[in-house]
Structure 1
């Protein structure tokens, strides 16, 4: 792979890429960022669970705030890489725009995730493997079936950004090929995956082939539909890994799930007592000035994120040849060494024990399974049998953009998944209650 091909302003869709009157006001990648951040699907993430249930009196992260923070870290990673590439002799007129590309990719990386946190993906998959959806297998091809049983928010993000929903322009958000490629962590279809992760549905298969061809993302192995990652994917992934691992711990402290002293010790462990003694001394001095415990955790969290940004970029630099050859395996954050590696190895199991298995998290996940399973069941039955029972009334609740002229059962089912996965937590809960007769409009 080479940067001259990897950095492309070619834009999905048939509309002109720019208006001559504002040719110099924003670059194409800045336009990508703006199109994402001003979109309705992006705004809806403010009402989608990240890990903890949506806040009451204590504000913790939702999908929106998480994505904004990831975009901030991603912009730094992209800009630092651009500077290093320039110093090493790499030349490209848009090299300085890598920060904007990675930042846009980070903004969009979670847009395909359904409501109710990480369990939302599992709930959709579970509907087809263990719920009533398992009876639909004979209606679709084997490849289409694996799209459903391995439902993946990453593949759904690509669809959301690129699909021409009814009433929308060709190319969906009409983003650049480079920005679209930067969010595809698993550049292969669902068929034959060893893990339930993949990057594009059958509906976006040809689209991604075109992106890969344009950007020079070669096939890997003998599978014609398995491609190497775009190098910037590693930076989008690193920004996400850094933020959720560290920010989840800060949220856990605010919610009093993990005590102050334990969080401080976990964060300080990222620094070697000898090699980083000057930094640790600076932290101690600042703690004498900043005495509020929440502010101390925030200060230390920011310092740790900065350290991990530099270390992840160093891993990228050390492995740049393999990354550009498409042979590098794994995430950058898993390759950091020294005290950061030791500290991360302590945080991960504690997060599973204290955070992801916290009662409030488990309760929202259980609710998500029930709510999403019911909504999928009701609406899929309605689109497949539009004249039966209450189907016509249920179909009237589906927005026009999801009511295209679907030719196959696969497309009909996919339209319902588009609808349900785009819901906010509260909208899904409210619609579930109304369908089940628990809440009635205008009553109590």
Structure 2
């Protein structure tokens, strides 16, 4: 059984002590601030959420989506924390943590939940996987360990996000942003490495390069070891997942309406199904976009309450690591959310424009991966002697954020390349591709 006191650990990754939890600005609020002020978070403003390079400024991108998820996550955490913190048997065990701190932890984990996503959304993630599995990248996996190969064959935005937070940002300081173990544990949606992933759903939470960082987080937060290299989720991770699911389910309808791909009647009817009754004030709103925005807000509020109720009902199972599935699938709104997902997939996702953008995105990412990996491979064959490289390869290596280390193992420089490419925004990746092709 996991303990709330350890789960809420304010100890920072790479530190031995823990910061005091004060009401003015606690360590978990600082976690949120550190993510918001880092460059990887700012780049989310030009990364695909649903619509790659959208034609409208009114739809969400990864940055606005992350802010909305964090807002919902704060409400979910605070509502759960209010009940947990009031239980007499837990008051001393919480070590001074209040409902507000629960909210801050979930909000901090939410704000960074998409920070490792590559350009062009999940399509970009799948493109990197396929390039290593069946494309020109397969040749570079020779000589790697089974776990290292699995990291690249199933390249995962969640694992990349953990790498960004714990290594790539503020890289001179061990621990990256040095977030608290409570926040990093909550961030970890899949608390296992690539070899321990379910073959049917090969999601994982950290690369082998960050295995030690995860072990430190798991130990400090008291994540329950399940065997086979797997751990139970941090209980608050279920709230991060719920916040993400609530936001993209509901706001996809609003974005589809704003783009003209979903009519008003279709958008209104689907959002109304998420409400037990139509709010009295709804009839006072005449403007259709404001009507949809009002229903979206009410739907989100209702789903927050439902998710909290499910969490509290199953708290002991969650702490024991025996809870399966997600929170929203057990709410009364689950059938309506499933219907919305199918409807938006047809109207928003499976469109000719989207497929055209994905063709472009695939060409961009494959070309960038091929160019940078070929340059590093040439550097490896030359034993680190740049004088032996073709001028183009030398120039490509100069474009890397850090100059290559002649002593670097192949796995390390492959991660350097995926770091560089996955960290690009959609627009920057397009610009680099055009320069690579001599078009700009």
TM-score normalized by structure 1?
A: 0.91
Deviation at 1:266, TM superposition (A): 0.6
Which of the residues 237, 244, 249 maps onto 2:248?
244
Per-residue CA shift, 1:406-439, capped at 9, x if unaligned? Answer: 6210001000101111100111000011011122
- What are the equivalent positions in structure 2 for 1:34-45 lying under 5 Å apart? 34-45=33-44
Question: Over residues 225-247 of structure 1, what are the superposed CA-to-partner deviations in whole Å (9 max), with x where a residue is unaligned?
Answer: 21110001000000000001111
Partner of 2:286 in structure 1? 291
SS for the counterpart of 1:385 is helix
Specify the SS of the correspondent of 1:231.
coil
Contact persistence 1:36–1:42 (CA under 8 A): yes
Give, in angstroms, the shift of residue 330 of structure 1.
Answer: 0.9
1:62 equivalent in structure 2: 61
Query: Which secondary structure does the structure 1 equivalent of 2:195 belong to?
Result: coil
Q: Residue 139 of structure 1 contacts residue 410 of structure 1 at CA under 8 Å; is this kept in 2?
A: no
Aligned partner of 1:227 among 224, 231, 245: 231
Q: Secondary structure at the match of 1:11?
A: coil
- The equivalences for 1:331-342 within 5 A come to 331-337=326-332, 340-342=333-335
Say if 2:11 and 2:17, in contact at 8 Å, map to a contact too. no
**Residues 1:163 and 2:164 are matched in the alignment:** no
Q: Which residue of 2 aligns with 1:370?
A: 363
Structure 1 equivalent of residue 215 of structure 2: 209
Q: Say if 2:48 and 2:121, in contact at 8 Å, map to a contact too.
A: yes
TM-fit CA distance, 1:335: 1.2
> Quick one: structure 1 residues 435 and 241, their matched pair in 2 at CA, closer, same or farther if it must change by over 3 Å?
same
Aligned residues: 423
Taking the aligned partners of 1:174 and 1:129, their CA distance within structure 2 comes to 33
Task: Find the residue that maps to 1:247 and give its secondary structure.
Answer: helix
Contact preservation (8 Å) 1:129, 1:149: yes
Aligned equivalents of 1:12 and 1:404: distance in 2? Answer: 26
Task: State the secondary structure of the residue aligned to 1:286.
Answer: helix
* Separation (CA, whole Å) in 1 of partners of 2:147 and 2:222: 25
- Of 78-87 and 67-76, the range deviating more from structure 2: 78-87
Correspondences of 1:52-201 after superposition (within 5 Å): 52-89=51-88, 90-91=90-91, 92=94, 93-96=96-99, 97-163=101-167, 168-193=172-197, 194=199, 195-201=201-207
Contact 1:51 / 1:361 at 8 angstroms: preserved in 2? no
**d(CA) in 1 for partners of 2:406, 2:221:** 32
- 1:239-263 alpha-carbon deviations (Å, 9 max, x no partner): 0000011111110011111111011
Q: CA deviation at 1:359?
A: 2.3
Contact 1:188 1:200 in 2 (8 A): yes
Does the alignment pair 1:344 with 2:348? no
Structure-2 residue corresponding to 1:442: none
Q: Which residue of 1 aligns with 2:408?
A: 407
Can you list the C-alpha shifts for 1:140-178, whole angstroms capped at 9, x where unaligned? 111101100111111110011001578532210010111
| Bigger shift: residues 58-67 or 404-413 | 404-413
Give 1:331 deviation, angstroms: 1.0
Whole-angstrom distance in 2 between the partners of 1:363 and 1:83: 48
SS in 2 for 1:267: helix
SS in 2 for 1:185: coil
In structure 1, what is the Cα distance between the partners aligned to 2:223 and 2:18? 23
Q: Tell me, in whole angstroms, the C-alpha distance in 2 between the residues paired with 1:252 and 1:62.
A: 13
Which residue number corresponds to residue 372 of structure 2? 379
Residues of 1 paired with 2:16 and 2:437: CA distance? 44
Report the RMSD for the aligned CA atoms in angstroms.
1.9
Paired with 2:316 and 2:23, the residues of 1 have a C-alpha distance of: 34
1:305 aligns with 2:293: no
5+ residue gaps, structure 2: 380-387
CA contact (8 A) 2:13 2:213 kept: no
Say whether the 8 Å CA contact 1:164–1:170 is kept in structure 2.
Answer: no
> Could you tell me how far apart the structure 1 residues matched to 2:338 and 2:15 are?
48
Verify the 8 A CA contact 2:70 2:106 in the aligned structure 1.
yes
Once the two structures are TM-superposed, the CA of residue 209 in structure 1 deviates from its matched residue by 1.4
